[in-house]
């Protein structure tokens, strides 16, 4: 049954990882604008990464 201790620590680390990712995403402004990235994706003209082949 001691294996549960390992599972618990793993799950906590994983969850902390998610929390960290959420913090990072919020601070870098990922949730500031949920609409334009979807539109920008379809813009073939200005995108540097999305050049047609």
Partner 1 sequence: MKKSTAIETLCSYCGSVCDNDLVLLDDKAYCCYGCATLNDVVAKIKNAPVEVGIKYKQLDLSETFEQVVDYQNDKIYRIGISLPAIHCSSCIELLEDLPSFMEGILAANVNFEQRRCLVTATKEVPLSFIAQLLDDIGYPPQISISQKLKDAEKAISKTNLLKLAVAGFCFGNIMLFSMPHYFGLAVANDPFFARLFSYLSIVLSIPTLAYSGREYLISAYKALSAGKSHLNIPIAIGILSLFGWSLYEIISGVGIGYLDSLAGLIFFLLIGKWFQHKVYDQVYYHKNVQDFIPLVVRKFSGDTEIWERLDSLSQGDTVLVKNEEIIPVNGVLNSGSGLIDYSFITGEALAERATIGDKVYAGGCQKAGEIAVLLSEKPSVDKLWSTWNTEAKTKTFSTRWTDSISKYFTIAVILIALIAGLAWSFVGLSQALFVFSAVLIVACPCALALSAPFTYGNILRVFSSNNFFMKSADAISVLGEVEHVVLDKTGTITNKEALEVNFVGDNLTYEHSQLIKTLANQSTHPLSRIVNQYLNSSSVLDLSSFQEATGKGIEAVINGKKVRLGSNSWVNASSSMKGTAVYVSIDDEVIGHFRISTSYRSGLKGVLKKLSRFVNISVLSGDNDGEREKLLQLFPSFKSLRFNLKPYQKAKEINQIQVSERVLMLGDGLNDSSAIQAGDLGIAITENLNGFYPGSDAVLLSESFDKMPAFFELARYSKKILKWSLAFSLLYNVTGIAFAVAGLLTPIIAAILMPLSSISVVLLDTLLVRMKSKNLKLI
Do the Cβ atoms of 44 and 52 come closer than 8 Å? yes
Contact pattern for partner 1 over residues 1 through 40, marking x by CB under 8 A? xx-xx--x---x--x--xx--xx--xx---xxxxxx--xx
For residue 34, the tally of other CB atoms under 10 A from its CB is 8
44 is a site residue for partner 1 (CB under 8 A): yes
Residues that bind partner 1 (CB under 8 A): 1-2, 4-5, 8, 12, 15, 18-19, 22-23, 26-27, 31-36, 39-40, 42-46, 51-53
């Amino acid at each position: 049954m001691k294996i549960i201790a390992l599972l618990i620590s793993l799950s906590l680390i994983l969850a902390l990882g998610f929390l960290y990712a959420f913090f990072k995403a919020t601070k870098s402004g990922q949730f500031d604008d949920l609409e334009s990235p979807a539109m920008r994706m379809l813009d073939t003209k200005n995108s540097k990464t999305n050049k047609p082949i």
